Every structure is written in C-alpha cells, then in structure tokens.
A and B are shown apart, each in its own frame.
Chain A
C-alpha cells in the first residue's frame, strides 16, 4: 500500500488548545525549537450573539499538522500508520489518526463540525 493516504481528524469543538501535541511532536521527532510538527492556531474569542452564553461566543483552537508531520505520518512516511505521540497525549482527547478511509468513517460518527487533514 505504498500510495495509502493517511489523515488527522480533529474534533475541534472540544480541542482545547493545550499545547501538548506541539511539545509531543518536538520530542518525538527531535525538532529544533523553531520547528513544529503540529502548531495550534486560535480563532476568537469574539461575540456572535447578544447574550453571554456559550452559544453567544466563538472560540476555536485548531492544531495544524505541518509538512514535517505529513512527511513522517503521511503516505510513505517512516511512521505512517503508527499512532503519533501527539495523538496519544493531547489532553482533550480530540485528535484521531489513521488511514484516510478510517478517518472518513470516524468523522461520520460525530454530529458536530469536524476538521479532516489529509496528510
């Protein structure tokens, strides 16, 4: 399966922006300080409603897998198919990794917005 595609699925309603995946990639891959296998981005917080309830706010964190991550865990990568340390340790338990087919199936288990990164 040399052309097997892999993907990182993010349950971004609950991904909490805890930085564990960032540090895990640095440790697992031995990256220098300025390089990241996963880097989090933040959107918000900003108001989208009139009140002050959760539904009136937008605040999202998203872990972005870089090309370094894809090189190791994507098609033909030396770690392809192996669970990344980042996926194990991420504190909100909102990252999933596997073949593209597995992750597409996984995505449909949820009834909320999901983010699928094809590596």
Chain B
C-alpha cells in the first residue's frame, strides 16, 4: 500500500497536513480528489494534492484549489441566522444561536406535522453534492415527510439514467471501466484498456459527473484509447488526433443510437453470443431498429452518413468499447429511450461488466442503500401521499422523490394539499441550476410556503427570497464524512473526508441530520446523545409521528463533543458490513473493491440478482431491450426516436420567429452550478455569463466577440456575452447556466440579478416524457438579439 496510516502529519514548518478527499460543499461531484489540507492554528493555508491517491494521483481541480478564498469569503454565512416572515426578500437577517434555531425549527416541524400532516413539509435537495445522500434521510426519517424533491423538470439529471439502468439492465449505474476499482489501476492484470471510448452527451473534464474523475480520459488517451465524441459541440477531447466527432443536432441522439444499432444488425457486427444469451426481445428489437435508415439519420441529426457508418462499424468490431454517458441522456424528452438504446448498444458491443467496457454495481449499496431505507420511517399512508407518485409510476418506482413538475403544480394549486413548510438542503434552484420556469417556482414558494429553513453557505437568491432560518454549512475540509461515487450505485472507490478545521459554527449535512433527528425522531436517529439530556426517548409517550420532544424542559444544549462522537458512530455503523470502522477507513486512505473481491461479468456468476441466480436483476433476468416495465406503464417497450417538441421541424410555424436552437448545462472549470460566483480567482476565469455562437451565425446577427446578447423564445429571455467559436455548428448556440451576481443588490426584486441571465427561463414547464422523466434543457428553439449590456437594452 502506498498509503500509510498517518492521515494527519505535523510538518517542520509548523503547518499540519490532513489527508482527505473532496466532495461538497463547494460542489464538485463525489470525485474524491485525494488532497492534503494544509492548516496552521486552525486556519486553512492551502490545498495540495495527494500523490498516493491511485486515481487522482496528486491532481486537484481549480475549484478545490481555491477553497481558501471560498472558506474565508466575506459573503459566507458562518453563524445561524433568522429573519422575520414579513422581512422575506430584505437583507434583515440577524444572528441567532443553534439552540434557539433548533428549538424554533423543531416546534414548527411538529406544528406542521400535527396540524396539516407531515406531507405539508417539502425538502428540496441540490444535485451532485454530499447532500444527495442526506436530503433523503432529512426528509424521510427526520421530518417524516414523503416529499423529497429535486426540482428539475423531468428530474433531468442522473436520476433518469439510474432508473433506466435499474429497469432495463437490472443494475446500478454502468460506469466506464477506467480501472478505478483496481488498486493496480491500468497496470492491473485484470484490466484491458478501452480501444475506443464513446463519450456521449458528456464533457467530463470540467464536469466530473457523479464520481467520475473526468481527466482519466486523458490518462486513457495517453495510453492509446481513442474517443468517439457524440456531442452537438466540438469538444477539446474530440479534437485530439485519432478521435471522431459525431456533431449531431441537439436532442436527436436517439435517432443516432437506433441507426447505429440497425447497422450493427444489418452488417452482422455485434456480440452475437452475448446478445442471444442476455438480451430479452432481440427479434423485436431488430425489427424496430430496421426502421432507422442511415439516410434519414443523416437528415435528422445533420451528421454525414459516412461518419454514422464508420462509428457503427467501430462499435461493432473493435474491442473493448468503453462508454461515458452524460447529462444529455437526461435532459431530453426522448431520453428514456436514449438510455435504453445506449445500454443495448453497450450490450451489443460486448461491453457489459467487462474490462475496458462498463462496470456494474448493485442498484444501491452502503450509504446509498441506507438513504433509501429511511422511507421506512413513515407509515404507508403517509408514503402514499408523495406528490406525483401515483400518477408517474415510471418515475416513482426508480426514484424515492416527488415528480418535480407536479411539485410546482401542487404549490401553485394547493392540490391535493398545500405545501406549507420547506427545507432547502443545498439547493439554489431559483438561479438557473435545475428548475424550469424558475419565476413560477419563486412565486409559488412565496405564496405557498409559510416557514422555510435554508441550509447553505452563502445568502443565495433562493435564501434571500424565501428563507426564514439559515443554517450555515461546513465545507468538505471542515467535516468528517465519506465520499461515495454514484451514491452507492457503483462504488468504484470510497474514501474518507477528514475534518481539518472549523469555521464559525458551521455544521455538515450529517451533523444537521443527527441534531434534528435526535429531537424529532430519536428511534431512527439514536447516535447523538447530548449531555444534560434528561429525557429518555425510550420512555417517552409516542405522538403520532415520534416521541414528543417538543418541550425544551429537561433538554441539553447543543453538545459538540457528543456530536463528534455521533458522527464517528454513524459512519462506523455504515462501514461495519465491510469490516471497517471510520478510523479504519481513514487509516486505509481509500477503499477499492478490486482489493476486496471485485469481479467482472457478475451476471455470469450470480452476483447481480437478489436470488443469487446468474443474470440481471430485471423481471426477465436479461437486459430488456423489450421492457416489461415500460409496457406496464403505458410506454412503448422498445426504444424509438421522437422529434423534440420545440424544434424547427416539429413547430415549423415558429421556425421563422425562432430559427436557432440553444443547448445549455455544460460546465467550466470555474464553477459548479450556481456556486463559486463570489470567489475572485474563479470569477476571473469566467467573469460573465456566456453564449457560444458559430462565427457564421454571429455575422448574420451582427454580433461580435464580447457583445451582450439577449437569447429569447416563447418562454422567456436571458442575457450573455457572446463567445464566437467554431465549437458550435451554425444555428446552434450554447448558453451558460447557474448565473447570479453576488456583487449586486440581494433584495427583492433584484435578488442578486438572478433573473437577468436565467437560462432556465427558456425551458418549458412539464414538457416531459411519458414516464415523467426528461425535459428539453439541451435543445429548445430560440432567437437572439444584440443588447447594450446586462441591464440596458
């Protein structure tokens, strides 16, 4: 082992180096960059890389390197704060104590539970963060509400891919095999380097989606892998020699997938042995695929026929083929079919759970399994009140959350009931991070929500608009926790976050759960035992929801020492099934399944199904090209292409008015969603929201580099600075997301300028697929015009 047990070392210069792994906040997905946090006298000096980490090998991204600036930003909130309901929208926050905040919030929670039912409380969670583990638990077993909500229309981020993998493949998230799980990495004798990697609707170098360290693509290219980049944009990866670009019109990916499939069948270029043994509905699939001709595909996708044929031949004949599938699978009304088709293509290419292809894990494991089990804290009749669950079984079977669009409808209509209390767990969704039509969400929140708790680090536009209590969060360097790629859906590795410093009175996600869980539902939250607590939960009378602890009498104050012990006990309990405790994980440095019995081809070995039989954990035991579940939910069981609703082809009557298509959601190295806008060295990299435009299109509009541009359509408008680039095809533009301006006035109605460059105002509400998944964030028709500035027409 390259790691030694000493995870904290005093250096000769008086500083302390604490080995750790990054996650959030600030967000960067659970990449788990191996780092050393350098501190002196409990102050963060800088972040360094950890050479011993077998995956990141010392490398760290810009956002985490800038953690010092983020940590000590004058805008950061480091003490609990409160604001009177009538002062919402005003900068009239005042400092309070944790004890007061806990008492008041718990009293409110009990009030809403008992007066209107626990379903009157909704918890909103942000994406890609550590909170993704805890906001489910916070909702289900702390607040005991069934309404856990990620607000993106059609749940268009990662959840669809996971659900479709669960339904069609009977496994957790299929991840590109980059040898992350193997201690020997690329040199491990069990590993075979991907000959080609299909990087599809994903730009992993800046985005690092869901635990995938994007720069492993560079490592693989250096070793000889070639990339097939399927993307409406030309990407830097796509422009390396030997790589192929499939630059398709946004949202036409399923047409491309079906046509490639057809060519593989026609040319007899696929893994027949695997297909015949493991694909359910192969004959029906061949018949369906035959409807998709190269000529039609070229017309619809605008990719030339020769490229389509060349890619099909490579996928059909070269081995191994790796796959990195991204956000574009989710942000598409036709995305359910796209994910199904991609899984089938990977199966036809012999990539499933084979070296250099895709690795598989269970649908949920470890902390990811624990978070799902928290729903057991509610009675069935409460769980049955989950918003949109009955209407959208194709979503609510795979996801434990509400259907996002229905949640807005409920807030607007109060049907079937009014949502009255909200808890934001690291979500700033009024900024264009996820929700479509965020002004509607804003108005509905202001009207419907009577009491609102915000858990965050900065006063965001969302906090300014609706927050009543603000609970300050710690960064990943300020707390103990576990980094878990894919939230337990494919544990390529697992690593500890080790607390290196304390800032103000900030707390972590798990600490906040432990504190409020102990008060509100101690049966499910037994770990935290504050000194001075004279109430014994086991002897308390049960209220309808949990032991009644609403009285402050006999209760101890916030006990930080007991809280530290509770965190350790909680994580040690989570690790027990691996024969580890939290300190053991710390000393180990990183847990890689390859050192503990990981095997490829688990479907051959009875390692995927609960019954221990060979096969996949689907109804048929096979990969369902013909989905039994889709059929039961009224969806076509086979994949198909559908033209997006807001394109020039489907709405020719609007083609003259809105001749362009915009995509959005791509990331840069300088920010994660709406975060980091107040970090000077990162803001310097991308100081303003940008729109990427092809030179030919820009010339048609008289737009030059750096001009301010308003992009608009039938749903809304947003402003950006023009970036003229050949990355885009003529007629296709790409708008930045996540923008607000912390330097501007934070009060209503400006809210830090959150409506000025709000990309999601261009996206329709509830234009989603039949299963409730997928909205067209990555492709809507629009137009643009030059304006004088962000604020002047």
Contacts and interface: CB of A to CB of B under 8 A. Distances in A.
Chains A and B belong together in one complex: yes
Interface string B34-47: 00000000000011
A113 to B, nearest CB: 11
B66 interface: yes
Contact of B218 (A16, A46, A88): A16
B241 A19 contact: no
A54 B218 CA distance: 14
Interface string A7-22: 0000001101111101
Interface stretch (B51-59, B129-137, B548-556): B51-59
Interface string B217-246: 011011000010000001010111111110
A33 B66 contact: no
Contacts of B684: 33
Nearest to A61: B236
A111 to B, nearest CB: 12
Given A20-B65, A23-B65, A85-B48, A90 B240 contact: no
Contacts of A90: 59
Contacts, number: 116
Contact of A18 (B58, B205, B239, B726): B205
Interface string A58-83: 11010000000000000000000000
Contact of B234 (A17, A18, A57): A57
A59 B245 CA distance: 14
Given A33-B680, A53-B244, A45 B727 contact: yes
A93 B47 CA distance: 17
Given A33-B681, A45-B725, A52-B307, A19 B62 contact: yes
A92 interface: yes
Contacts of A17: 236, 669
Contacts of B58: 88-89
B404 interface: no
A54 B215 contact: no
B65 A24 contact: yes
Interface string B47-77: 1110100000111111001101000000000
A114 B65 CA distance: 26
Contacts of B362: none
Contacts of B243: 53-54
Q: Chain B interface: which size bin?
A: 35 or more
A5 interface: no
B562 interface: no
Contacts of B65: 20, 23-24, 27, 89
A45 B695 CA distance: 12
A92 B218 contact: yes
Nearest to A25: B65
B239 A20 contact: no
A109 interface: no
A89 B221 CA distance: 19
Nearest to B239: A57
Contacts of A92: 205, 215, 218
Contacts of A54: 227, 238-245
Contacts of B180: none
Contacts of B51: 88
Contacts of A58: 239
Contacts of B218: 14, 16, 91-94
Contact of B62 (A18, A33, A59): A18
Contacts of B670: 19
A22 B726 CA distance: 25
Most chain A C-beta atoms within 10 Å of own C-beta, residue among B60, B227, B242: B60
A89 B681 contact: no
B674 interface: no
Interface string B343-363: 000000000000000000000
Given A14-B221, A16-B215, A92-B215, A22 B62 contact: yes
B34 to A, nearest CB: 11
Given A23-B62, A27-B46, A33-B681, A91 B205 contact: yes
Nearest to B680: A33
9 contacts: A19-B685, A22-B685, A23-B65, A27-B46, A44-B239, A45-B727, A59-B236, A88-B48, A90-B59
Interface of A: 13-14, 16-20, 22-24, 26-28, 33, 44-47, 52-55, 57-59, 61, 85, 88-94
> What 9 A-B pairs have minimum CB-CB distances, sorted nearest first?
A54-B243, A57-B239, A19-B62, A23-B65, A89-B60, A59-B239, A27-B46, A91-B215, A92-B218
